[in-house]
A and B are shown apart, each in its own frame.
Chain A
Amino acid sequence: MGTSTALRDLQRDLENKANDLSKLQKDIAKNHQVRKKYTIQLGENELVLKELDLLSEDANVYKMIGPVLVKQDLAEANANVRKRIDYISAELKRLDATLQDLEEKQNSKRDMILKLQQRIQSLQAGKAKA
């Protein structure tokens, strides 16, 4: 009966690991989505910056804040956009790092699960023989 309890333990272990893995995979998918959003924003901000650079000094620039348009200084708007681009770039870098971390974790988890499956299989084979 020792083998059957060990087998059950292993199977429970495997289940836990599989859950962890699926959680990790969900995290990774989420990370991908956030990344996509940020890259789109980055592109948009760069476009804005380009257009702002092309504007002449005396052009009127407004920023939509909620339901109202607030008049803004061109230099201020320019600085704001630049800051935003910096922020988004930093965020993207951070996301990259976490993504790599998550993927490493996922791979190790996958290996562990594979090993567990092999052990369970060998145990089952031994039981079938006995």
Chain B
Amino acid sequence: MEEGAKGTVTSLASMFPADEAQKAAKRVQDTIAEKHQELDRVKGFIADNASLVNLVQKLPEELHHDIMVPFGKVAFFPGRLVHTNEFMVLLGEGYYAERTSKQTVEILRRRGKALETHVDSLKSMIEDLETEALFFDRTASDAAEGLVEIREELSGEESDEGASESGRKEDAHSVSVKDKGKVLNEDEEYARLMSKLEELEKEELAAEAADNIEEETNEVDPDVVSEQSSFNQNLKDWEGSHSCKPPSHSEEGQASDEEFLSRKRQQPALLEKSNPNDPTITSSHKDKTSHGKEPSKNLRDPNVADKSLKLPALEGNDHAGSSNNEVSIQPSKPKFDSLRAFTGSIIERSPNLPINPGETSSTSSQVPSSQSSKPQSRFRMQRR
């Protein structure tokens, strides 16, 4: 039943055997029948009550009535009913009260009302039980058909919710528990959706900001771009805060923004550098960008260029970034951050997928698998 570590397939029948589910369904059906009987009984009471009300209302119309008086179980003898407006009403618990016809009718009406509320509660109970029975029946038939539950672990933080969604979680014995769990899942999913939306919004904001800057710095030579700063910029885009940009790198930051945009939009000026389908070009592009270090770093430039040139075409972006980190003068960011920045850049380009689908896929596939599981999964999550 195991599919490596990725997911499990469990047949529903193994968790809830068909005959067990049927038994449960039968039990519920029995309770329903019981409730129906009670309902009938109470309805009988209501009918009795109504006829009694009629009788009590009619009796005082005459001064006396000729009736047959029951004597024991078998015999009747003729008699006459007098005092037709005096009733001895049993209130319950052995208490009786002398009442007139009108007062008796009031008491009876109140009792009728109580009975009706009882009927209502019974009806709602039956409804609940019927849905329960339906659920059990469905589970039984599903199990009999050999339906299977498939659970797949999503990599990263959302494994649990995904798994519970993909499989039909059914608890044969306590529906309420199951419902609660479902609600919880829905909540979690809602939170996840909201966070996703927020991410997208941040990207949009960053893209807009980049747009504005691009117009100002259209003339800037795209070569004046340092890899380090582009990562910084990525990070900032990701975090959506341009304010903490170090002032000495503002120019580079803008340029890198431009670079991103041009990559994204395939601007004619950069077209030859950002051919999306060729991974080697991406690395050569990096080479270019590392060439464009600040003058102060030019001493090491050849080194860097060599390094990035030596990098195999399939080497990941973040590898290049880390190698650049080593030689850069700036306070190097922790590696994790650069990774995150990388993630951000992937997500940033994803809305343009239809335009240049090759690039994102190629870059993401370049990423070393050991570190890529999280970003990739995010990326895929977005595509869904």
Q: Which of A41, A48, A69, A84 contacts B91 (CB 8 A)?
A: A48
A52 vs B107: C-alpha distance when bound (angstroms): 11
A84 vs B94: C-alpha distance when bound (angstroms): 13
Does A55 make an interface contact (CB < 8 A)?
yes
B-contact bits for A51-79, CB 8 A (1 contact / 0 none): 11001000111111100010010000100
B-facing residues in A78-99 (Cβ within 8 Å): 81, 84
Does B93 make an interface contact (CB < 8 A)?
yes
Does A45 make an interface contact (CB < 8 A)?
yes
Assuming the contacts A47-B114, A51-B107, asked whether A61 and B92 have C-beta atoms less than 8 A apart, the reply is: no
Complex contacts, B91 vs chain A, CB 8 Å: 47-48, 51-52
Complex contacts, B98 vs chain A, CB 8 Å: 59-62
A65 vs B91: C-alpha distance when bound (angstroms): 14
Complex contacts, A64 vs chain B, CB 8 Å: 94-96
Tell me if A69 and B96 are in contact (CB < 8 A): yes
A-contact bits for B58-95, CB 8 A (1 contact / 0 none): 00000000000000000000000000000010011111
A81 vs B97: C-alpha distance when bound (angstroms): 14
Q: How large is the interface on B (under 10, 10 to 19, 20 to 34, 35 or more residues)?
A: 10 to 19
Tell me if A84 and B97 are in contact (CB < 8 A): no
Q: With both chains docked as a complex, state the minimum distance between the C-beta of B100 and any C-beta of chain A, in angstroms.
A: 10
The interface size of chain A toward B, counting residues with CB under 8 Å, comes to 21
B-contact bits for A82-126, CB 8 A (1 contact / 0 none): 001000000000000000000000000000000000000000000
A-facing residues in B229-249 (Cβ within 8 Å): none
Tell me if A47 and B97 are in contact (CB < 8 A): no
Tell me if B114 and A62 are in contact (CB < 8 A): no
A45 vs B88: C-alpha distance when bound (angstroms): 18
Complex contacts, A50 vs chain B, CB 8 Å: 110
Tell me if B93 and A61 are in contact (CB < 8 A): no
Closest to A47 in B: B92
A-contact bits for B357-368, CB 8 A (1 contact / 0 none): 000000000000
Tell me if B92 and A63 are in contact (CB < 8 A): no
A62 vs B97: C-alpha distance when bound (angstroms): 6
Closest to A41 in B: B93
Complex contacts, A65 vs chain B, CB 8 Å: 94
Tell me if B93 and A62 are in contact (CB < 8 A): no
Q: Which of B92, B97, B111 contacts A60 (CB 8 A)?
A: B97
Assuming the contacts A47-B114, A51-B107, asked whether A62 and B95 have C-beta atoms less than 8 A apart, the reply is: yes
Tell me if A59 and B97 are in contact (CB < 8 A): yes
A20 vs B107: C-alpha distance when bound (angstroms): 49
Does A13 make an interface contact (CB < 8 A)?
no
Please, could you name 11 A-B residue pairs with CB atoms under 8 Å apart, sorted by A?
A: A45-B92, A47-B91, A51-B97, A51-B110, A52-B91, A52-B97, A59-B97, A61-B97, A61-B98, A62-B88, A77-B95
Top 7 closest pairs, chain A to chain B, by CB: A64-B94, A60-B98, A62-B96, A44-B92, A48-B92, A48-B91, A51-B91
Given A50-B110, A81-B93, 11 more A-B residue pairs with CB atoms under 8 Å apart are A41-B93, A45-B92, A47-B92, A47-B114, A48-B93, A51-B91, A59-B98, A60-B97, A61-B97, A62-B96, A69-B96
